[in-house]
Structure 1
Amino acid sequence: MADSDAAEIRASRAQWTAQHLATYLESGGAQGHILDLSDVGGRSFTTHCLIRYPGRTSGQRYIKPLIYGNFGGEIVIVASKGGADSHPQWYLNVASGDTLDVQIATQAFEAGWREPEGDERHQVWEYMCHLYPPYITYQQSTSRRIPVVMLNLLRPTTTFNAES
């Protein structure tokens, strides 16, 4: 998929995404954790986390809502960018550091991260495609290998808010 096509999809969902993030933050995670994404090919009970990470050049802190799964006790997020030909900025920022923060519902943690390889990566990818079937189409629409990121929770931290 051309970046411009993926950008059009993201733009059409931008207001929805901004509202989702605001709801998640304003409720402290009591709302926004599970959403119905059946209207876009997903599942009716799709789990979402928030990740918080610094910009690799600006140092500014960003918060991004993402679909997640739990595979073997690790949190899994996917750097799909809707099947665009380039990686999402959040992935490039996370890849430049050792840790990030993740909030799942009302609990937040500092987390380390890794990218699975080989058979493990294949199993994790299949699992995530089961949780959110549009990932299959996203991968088919780009020549880049969509990254799968696994988070291991290190220690609790404070829940996110609009200022963090």
Structure 2
Amino acid sequence: MKDHSERTRNKARKRVNDHMSRYLKTEGEDGHIWGGVPTLLLTTTGRESREPYTTPLIYGQDGDRYLLVASRTGAPRHPGWYRNLCKTPDVQIQIMAEHFPARARTATPEEKPALWRIMAKIWPPYEEYQSRTEREIPVVMLELKA
């Protein structure tokens, strides 16, 4: 018999997969706005498998850069997508029907406070997530490649 936490993880995984499937099928017409906030699809390269992994994520903007928060809802470990891009920072993003190559980097301690405010305004639960964990939740900047 599955325990409660495993059932919860499976339900969350199904919701994420359903969201991503709708986003892909409709080129973001259904899925770009999720829960009232904008989402993009981030494709990273698996740090061990070298296979592509795609994840829907809430995003913000700072000028021409896209911003992500590696919160994993305040879990003790960084999300897999973040660990992947730390090893291979060249990523692909999809916003609606548009696809872009980008390079990811983690905001420096000096950059992070202003970027965190942008993202916490878009998704206020980030503040709660940070209070749940001892790890510093990273803000990631995606800079489009020419």
The answer on whether the counterparts of 2:107 and 2:138 sit within 8 Å (CA) in structure 1 is no
Pairs aligned (count): 143
Q: Quick one: percent identity of the two aligned structures?
A: 36
SS at match of 1:152: strand
Q: Which residue of 1 aligns with 2:135?
A: 144
| Per-residue Cα deviation, 1:29-79 (whole angstroms, up to 9, x for no partner) | 22211122xxxxxxxx20000011111111111110000001122100111
Q: Which residue of 1 aligns with 2:17?
A: 18
Moved more, 84-93 or 13-22: 13-22
Alpha-carbon distance change, 61 to 140 in structure 1, aligned in 2, over 3 angstroms? same
Q: 2:145 aligns with which of 150, 154, 157?
A: 154
Q: For residues 142 and 8 of structure 1, what CA distance do their matches in structure 2 show? A: 22
Q: For residues 33 and 137 of structure 2, what CA distance do their matches in structure 1 show? A: 23
Q: Which structure would you say has the larger RCO, counting Cα contacts within 8 Å and 6 or more residues apart? A: 1
Q: For residues 128 and 10 of structure 2, what CA distance do their matches in structure 1 show? A: 18
Q: For residues 70 and 142 of structure 1, what CA distance do their matches in structure 2 show? A: 25
The answer on whether the counterparts of 1:6 and 1:81 sit within 8 Å (CA) in structure 2 is no
Q: For residues 125 and 8 of structure 1, what CA distance do their matches in structure 2 show? A: 31
Q: Which residue of 2 aligns with 1:84?
A: 75
Q: Is there any run of 5+ residues in structure 1 with no aligned partner, and where?
A: 37-44, 156-164
The question of 1:126 aligning with 2:105 is answered no
Q: Which residue of 2 aligns with 1:110?
A: 101
Q: Which residue of 2 aligns with 1:30?
A: 29
- The offset of 1:10, in angstroms, is 4.5
Q: For residues 121 and 145 of structure 1, what CA distance do their matches in structure 2 show? A: 11
TM-score normalised by the chain length of structure 2: 0.90
Q: Which residue of 1 aligns with 2:43?
A: 52
Q: For residues 6 and 89 of structure 1, what CA distance do their matches in structure 2 show? A: 19
